[in-house]
């Protein structure tokens, strides 16, 4: 016996959030309704996909070329053949 699905009404969704969700649905090739259901399932811990963590997202795109660091790393990568005897 299948459970009856429920219908939700969500109010006061900002235009910014609306655009972002519609864009994400379009990128995934799914309807907005399907996207929202999958997001609700994931948040409830019932989704098919395992939760993704973004603990280091803040460092993405922050690399700065630094010749001093490059030189130090190159120096550390030098192998002294005497150490392998």
For the chain, the structural domain boundaries read 1-52
Classify each residue of 2-16 as buried b or exposed e, where b means 16 or more C-beta atoms within 10 Å of its C-beta. eeeeeeeeeeeeeee
Handedness of CA 39, 41, 45, 49 (dihedral sign): negative
The pLDDT assigned to 56 comes to 84
The pLDDT assigned to 84 comes to 84
The pLDDT assigned to 67 comes to 95
pTM of the predicted model, to two decimals? 0.53
* Averages of pLDDT over each 10 residues, the chain, 85 residues: 83 97 96 94 77 77 92 92 85
The pLDDT assigned to 49 comes to 61
């Amino acid at each position: 016996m299948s459970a009856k699905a429920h219908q939700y009404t969500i109010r006061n969704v900002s235009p910014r959030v609306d655009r972002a969700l519609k864009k994400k649905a379009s990128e995934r090739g799914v309807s907005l309704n399907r996207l929202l259901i999958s997001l609700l399932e994931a948040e409830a811990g019932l989704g098919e996909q395992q939760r993704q963590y973004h603990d280091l997202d803040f460092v993405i795109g922050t690399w700065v070329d630094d010749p001093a660091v490059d030189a130090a790393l190159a120096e550390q990568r030098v192998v002294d053949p005497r150490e392998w005897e």
